Amino acid sequence: MDNNFLVIENISKSFGDNKVLENINLNISKSEFFGLLGSSGSGKTTLLRILGGFEKPDTGRVILDGTDITNLEPFDRPLNYMFQSYALFPHLNVFNNLAFGIKENFTQKEIEINVRNIAELLSIEHLLNRRIKQLSGGEQQRVALGRCLIKKPKLLLLDEPLAALDKKLRSKTQLELTTLQKKLKITFVFVTHDQEEAMSLSDRMAIMKNGLILECSSPEEIYENPKSLYTANFIGIANIIEIYKKDENFYSDDLDINFKLNKELKKTQTKILLRPEKIKIQSINNLKTSLFNSFSGEILEKSYLGSFTRYEIKINKTIISVLDQNFNSNSNYNFPKGEKVICSWESESIKILED
Amino acid sequence: MKNKLFEKYFVFSPYFWLVLFFFIPLAIIFKISVSVSEWGMPPYQDIFLFDNGFEINTTFENYIYIFSDYYYIGSFVNSLILALISTFCCLLIGFPLAFYIATSNIRLRNILLVLVVIPFWSSFLLRVYAWKIILQNNGILNVILLNLGITSEPLQLLYNQYAVIMGIVYTYLPLMILPLYGYLNKFDLNLIEASKDLGLNRIKTFFKVILPLSVPGIVAGSLLVFIPVVGEFIIPEMLGGSDRLYYGKILWEEFFVNRNWPGASALAFSGIIILVLPIVIFQILYSRWSQKNEI
């Protein structure tokens, strides 16, 4: 796979004194669905706007398919940008919105055919004569997508593509978007603040914070083996525990238990991540706490989430989150509040954070 | 109940104002315009006579008189042309300014808006007079041009139609900028970026996106400039020459110099009808169009 389809090289950008991006480097492959995930102010949208040509970077280069596009105007770039607000033209109907970018270079007949094809692809054929204000949010999203795709871009940039949709529509559209992307094999780079969205859409994703890329990897890798504390907390629910070396083992003051790690650790003190679904929860009658990787605690809070139950378990002064899958009716999903339980985990589930 | 009545009165008070200060005077003007002129005070005869029973004493002579003399029609046409040119110039200068103000950051925007409005705080007459001082033969502009050696003798900048147009554009520019700004302020800048992203350069983006979406602001600003300029009297009087007669001037002369009140009223009334009717028709068509296009 061509790993250098889109190369972002040493990109920095400041607005006045405010450093928005610092030395960003990314390589994105052809036909990849790439996510930029970060909270607001992380610089993700600025990076996307630099790719779109709406902002000029202070330093660095953007190379798309072998061509340096850093100094090209938006209208000279072989890519398209889908705006968060969709930015559909209110004075044109759906047909003319779709045809907007191809009117120049095509004959009337070709325009007609192209618009029909793209409308069919996105199943919006019945909307072609509508005005933009008569469309629902989901329909507007499709028109905005179609308006870009009709240009057959090498790269499609999407700014919070699903943020304006309601929850149910969002998960449906998520699926459609990935299917569409795999079918068209166009490289997608999108920005989101929603970690679930980033995980479900991306082939690979980058976590951004304060203008830096903290990590860049597949969603699985980032969820299971985050390197930084920030990423661990940002993606999913995280139990962060501080441990230090005591005798031969690692010990946590907060939990007052010993940890057994499955690999050597040079540092004498570190933070570890324990994902809530990796923790097994059992009735205290069944078992005794073992020496390592388990504790007994009291259920402080529980929330039934359908397929899962989330427990907040108190041990010493710390609260540990546990997600317990509700296998069947006589499973243990109905631990009541206040019940003493035993929690345990495999030593492989303990992830050591680098900072 | 009392409150309701008050509300009604409050809501309709602009209409009372309009009836009191627009429609009643208009009716009076119409009345005078169809009455027979005579020497005296007032210089026209009553339209209802009760000397030998009841008699209606009206005439359309005044209308026939002004419409048969090119002196009146020509001056009206001159005024229309002047208003068209001035409105177009205001639009040409005002649109980029309004767009710039609307898209600049909030601090700069407020400063620029104040700068646009500031001239209103000084007397209109003084401002026009200031232009006279700038443009006259030994005025600032000519002195500068002479000293720079660009011209060898003073240019005749004053007392021609260009001076008039300049004075009008200067005076009426805020009336173009403010409604345009009000409209462009709400303009979604993403639309411009979207257009560029879809391959249209700046000029094409202007004509395909910015201009069509600014039509309501352009219409509002243009009407606000065009209508008063047609009747403008002071600026042509102070900056214009005798080569070209304008409607406002003719009206003034007919009324105060010739003391032909019925003729002047007929002229005023015809002017209003000729101006207002097309604008009303235009507004109806335009509101239908914009409803259809949902701008």
**Nearest CB to B197; choose among A80, A88, A104:** A80
Contacts of range B153-159, beta carbons closer than 8 Å, 24 or more positions apart: B158/B132, B158/B239, B159/B239, B159/B240, B159/B241, B159/B242
The mean pLDDT of A219-241, rounded to a whole number, is 90
For chain A, domain boundaries? 6-234, 239-353
Sign of CA dihedral A171, A172, A175, A180: negative
**Nearest CB to A73; choose among B190, B191, B196:** B196
pLDDT band for position B61 (50/70/90)? confident
pLDDT band for position A84 (50/70/90)? very high
CB-based contact A15:A119 (threshold 8 Å):
no
Give the integer Cα–Cα distance in Å for A278 and A301: 18
Give the integer Cα–Cα distance in Å for A233 and A212: 17
How many CB pairs (< 8 A) connect A and B? Answer: 65
User: pLDDT averaged over chain B?
Assistant: 88
Give the integer Cα–Cα distance in Å for B183 and B176: 11
DSSP state of B58: B
Class of the A239-353 domain? mainly beta
pLDDT digits (tens, 9 = 90+) for A19-73: 999 999 999 999 999 999 999 889 999 999 999 999 999 999 999 999 999 999 9
Beta pairing partners, A205: A35, A217
**Nearest CB to B194; choose among A83, A104, A133:** A83
Backbone angles phi, psi at A141, to 5 degrees: -60, -40
Give the integer Cα–Cα distance in Å for B136 and A289: 103
Amino acid at A8: I
CB-based contact, A305 to chain B, within 8 Å: no
Residues of chain B positioned with their CB less than 8 A from the CB of A164: none
CA A316 and chain centroid, separation: 34
| CATH classification code of B71-246 | 1.10.3720.10
Backbone angles phi, psi at A294, to 5 degrees: -160, 160
DSSP state of B11: H
Checking ipTM against 0.95, whether it exceeds it is: no
Q: What is the DSSP string of A184-241?
A: HT-EEEEEES-HHHHHHH-SEEEEEETTEEEEEE-HHHHHHS-SSHHHHHHSS--EEE
Amino acid at A128: L
**B222: distance to nearest CA of chain A, Å?**
21
**Nearest CB to B196; choose among A74, A89, A90:** A74
The torsion of the CA quartet A246, A251, A254, A255, rounded to 10 degrees, works out to -140
pLDDT at A294 exceeding the cut of 70? yes
CB-based contact, A54 to chain B, within 8 Å: yes
User: For residue A6, what are its two tokens?
Assistant: 């889109």
Amino acid at A22: E
In the prediction, which pLDDT does B294 show? 58
pLDDT at A161 exceeding the cut of 60? yes
CB-based contact, A220 to chain B, within 8 Å: no
Find out if CATH 3.40.50.300 is the number for domain A6-234.
Answer: yes
The mean pLDDT of B130-142, rounded to a whole number, is 87
DSSP state of B53: S
Give the integer Cα–Cα distance in Å for A221 and A229: 15
- Average the pLDDT over each of A330-334, A345-349, B18-22, B23-27 and give the range with the smallest value: A330-334
User: For residue B219, what are its two tokens?
Assistant: 């219409």
The percentage of chain B sitting over the pLDDT mark of 70, rounded to a whole number, equals 98
* Contact call for B198 and A80, based on CB within 8 A: yes
**Nearest CB to A85; choose among B190, B200, B204:** B190
Tell me which chain B residue has its CA closest to the CA of residue A49. Answer: B193
Neighbours of A338 (CB within 10 A): 8
Residues of chain A positioned with their CB less than 8 A from the CB of B204: 104
CA distances from A91 to A126, B191, B287, B289, B293 (A): 19, 11, 14, 11, 6
pLDDT at B264 exceeding the cut of 70? yes
pLDDT digits (tens, 9 = 90+) for A97-154: 999 999 988 999 999 999 999 999 999 999 999 999 999 999 999 999 999 999 999 9
Q: Pick the closest to residue B169 from B123, B113, B131, B122 (CA basis).
A: B131
The percentage of chain A sitting over the pLDDT mark of 70, rounded to a whole number, equals 95
Tokens 């050696």 -> residue: B149
CB-based contact, A129 to chain B, within 8 Å: no
User: For residue A130, what are its two tokens?
Assistant: 């509508």
CB-based contact, A151 to chain B, within 8 Å: yes
DSSP-based helix, strand, coil % in chain A, nearest 5: 25, 35, 35
Using a 10 angstrom Cβ sphere, with 0-12 exposed, 13-18 middle and 19 or more buried, the burial of residue A197 is: buried
Q: What is the DSSP string of B112-173?
A: HHHHHHGGGGS-HHHHHHHHHHHHSTTSHHHHHHHHTTS-SS----SSSHHHHHHHHHHHHH
Tokens 């015809």 -> residue: B270
Give the integer Cα–Cα distance in Å for B134 and B127: 11
User: For residue A200, what are its two tokens?
Assistant: 């479900």
pLDDT digits (tens, 9 = 90+) for B39-53: 777 888 887 777 777
Residues of chain A positioned with their CB less than 8 A from the CB of B203: none
pLDDT at A345 exceeding the cut of 70? yes
Tokens 């969205």 -> residue: A197
Three-state secondary structure call for residue A37:
strand
Backbone angles phi, psi at A192, to 5 degrees: -155, 155
pLDDT at A3 exceeding the cut of 90? no
Task: State the number of CA atoms in the 13 A half-sphere of B32 facing the CB.
Answer: 23
pLDDT at B295 exceeding the cut of 70? no
pLDDT at A258 exceeding the cut of 90? no
Query: Global pTM?
Result: 0.81
In the prediction, which pLDDT does A58 show? 95
pLDDT at B1 exceeding the cut of 60? no
pLDDT at A270 exceeding the cut of 80? yes
pLDDT digits (tens, 9 = 90+) for A63-75: 999 999 999 999 9
pLDDT digits (tens, 9 = 90+) for A328-343: 665 555 788 888 888 8
Residues of chain B positioned with their CB less than 8 A from the CB of A46: none
CB-based contact, A89 to chain B, within 8 Å: yes
Neighbours of B86 (CB within 10 A): 27
In the prediction, which pLDDT does A288 show? 62
CB-based contact A62:A28 (threshold 8 Å):
no
Pairing of strands A33-38, A340-344: unpaired
CA distances from A13 to A7, A73, A160, A332 (A): 17, 17, 21, 53
* Contact call for B190 and A87, based on CB within 8 A: yes
CB-based contact A350:A272 (threshold 8 Å):
yes
pLDDT at A1 exceeding the cut of 60? no
Give the integer Cα–Cα distance in Å for A27 and A190: 14
The mean pLDDT of A79-94, rounded to a whole number, is 94
Backbone angles phi, psi at A131, to 5 degrees: -90, 160
pLDDT at A264 exceeding the cut of 80? no
Q: Pick the closest to residue B131 from B121, B119, B118 (CA basis).
A: B119
* Contact call for A87 and B193, based on CB within 8 A: yes
Give the integer Cα–Cα distance in Å for B264 and B257: 11
pLDDT digits (tens, 9 = 90+) for B204-263: 999 999 999 998 899 999 999 999 999 888 899 888 888 788 998 889 988 888 888 999
In the prediction, which pLDDT does A35 show? 95
Give the integer Cα–Cα distance in Å for B57 and B178: 48
pLDDT at B203 exceeding the cut of 60? yes
CATH 1.10.3720.10 boundaries in chain B:
71-246
Rg (CA), chain A: 25
Pairing of strands A79-82, A155-159: parallel
pLDDT band for position A287 (50/70/90)? low
The mean pLDDT of B155-160, rounded to a whole number, is 85
pLDDT at B137 exceeding the cut of 70? yes
Task: State the number of CA atoms in the 13 A half-sphere of A229 facing the CB.
Answer: 7
